[in-house]
Amino acid sequence: MKQSNLKVVFITMEVTQVLHSLLESAKVVGLVESKRKNPSKQTNQLRDFCSERNLPYYFMNDGCSVNFENWLKELEPDLIVIFGMSELLKKNIIDIPKKGCINLHPSLLPKYRGGYPIFWMYYHFDLNPGVTVHYIDEGEDTGNIIYQESINLPIGATEEEFFDNLINKIGIELLLRAIEDIEKDCAPSIQQQVDGSTKRARQIRPEQYKEIIDWETWDIVRIWHLLRGTQNWLNVFDLSEIQGDIKKWRILNYSCEDSPFELGKVFKEDSQYFVSCGQGKIYMELTMEQSEEVKKGFAKVVG
């Protein structure tokens, strides 16, 4: 598409291909960083990105405050675009842009409304997920739909593969098409169902991780698919049989076989790590933290 003349303010939490594509295709006049729910994951990435490009930046750590409202009004945006936000916009913000506010949401709304749709799609073994561009209202992902499209998700696709196919290949295209049509005043606006067809895509707390998987009765392919899609963060394993401090893990393949091992526990056999399931074994690659002694020894060798 040719570059839009709409003045756009973008709200997000990190530097992604969505941001780069918007900068190439729209007149981005400001960037808002939505604070993360986990403060330890907050970085200066977006602030530095804006500083390098002389792009107006606002850290939204005080909600839809008067300060944020005044900052936006000074930019006089035509449109607010959202991709990744930890809270809902209120009416005082929604009413500012002349053309409204739109959101890129990684699900086929009204399915998986909420902040964690990708996890729940993996959890429910949903192999026909999708992406939606919709208008923002005061509800949680309840605004009128502009465009949406589904994909076929391969079994065992990682989160990175899923994100690349769903957002970078399809979602960005739909978002840019929506901006173009909004500028022309010809964008669709389809009312959503009041009730979603799935439960809210809520956040899973760390203390709930160990309860997520039924290691005995779930099909091993379903477990493998979920573990592949969440291997960057979801610690559902009993690692008490493994010596050493585990830094990260990667889910490999699986085998269907009778296993005498305790379910949900990780074991090492013939130099292979695996977690035991009711229908077999799911193999893993573990990366261990180096001990202080090893680190000191390495420093002496290279120093």
What does the pLDDT average to over 129-155? 96
Domain of residue 126 covers 7-183
Number of domains in the chain: 2
Integer-rounded Cα Rg, in Å, for the chain is 22
What is residue 298's predicted lDDT score, i.e. its pLDDT?
A: 43
What is residue 291's predicted lDDT score, i.e. its pLDDT?
A: 53
User: Do residue 116 and residue 232 come from a single domain?
Assistant: no
Averaged confidence pLDDT in the chain = 92
For the chain, give the number of residues.
Answer: 303
**Which DSSP string do the residues of the chain spell out, in sequence order?**
-PPP-SEEEEEESS--HHHHHHHHHSEEEEEEEEPPSSGGG--SHHHHHHHHHT--EEEE-S-S-HHHHHHHHHH--SEEEEES-SSPPPHHHHTSSTT-EEEEESS-TTTT-SS-HHHHHHHTT-SS-EEEEEE--SSSS-SPEEEEEE-PPPTT--HHHHHIIIIIIIIHHHHHHHHHHHHTT----BPPPSS-SS---PPPPGGGGGGS--TTTS-HHHHHHHHHHTTTT----B-TTS-S-EEEEEEEEEEE----SPTTBEEEETTEEEEEETTEEEEEEEEEPPPHHHHHHHHHHH-
What is residue 42's predicted lDDT score, i.e. its pLDDT?
A: 85
Task: Name residue, tokens 């099909």.
Answer: 219
What does the pLDDT average to over 109-114? 94
What does the pLDDT average to over 138-155? 95
Domain limit, last residue, from 183, 215, 231: 183
User: Do residue 98 and residue 11 come from a single domain?
Assistant: yes
Rounded-to-integer distance, Cα 49 and Cα 14, Å: 10
What is residue 37's predicted lDDT score, i.e. its pLDDT?
A: 79
User: Do residue 14 and residue 139 come from a single domain?
Assistant: yes
User: Do residue 117 and residue 263 come from a single domain?
Assistant: no
User: Do residue 41 and residue 121 come from a single domain?
Assistant: yes
- For residue 293, name the pLDDT band (cuts at 50, 70, 90): low
- For residue 6, name the pLDDT band (cuts at 50, 70, 90): very high
**Per the structure block, which two tokens stand in for 100?**
């409204």
300 found inside a domain: no
> Is the confidence at residue 244, as pLDDT, over 70?
yes
User: Do residue 120 and residue 217 come from a single domain?
Assistant: no
The pTM assigned to this predicted structure is 0.90
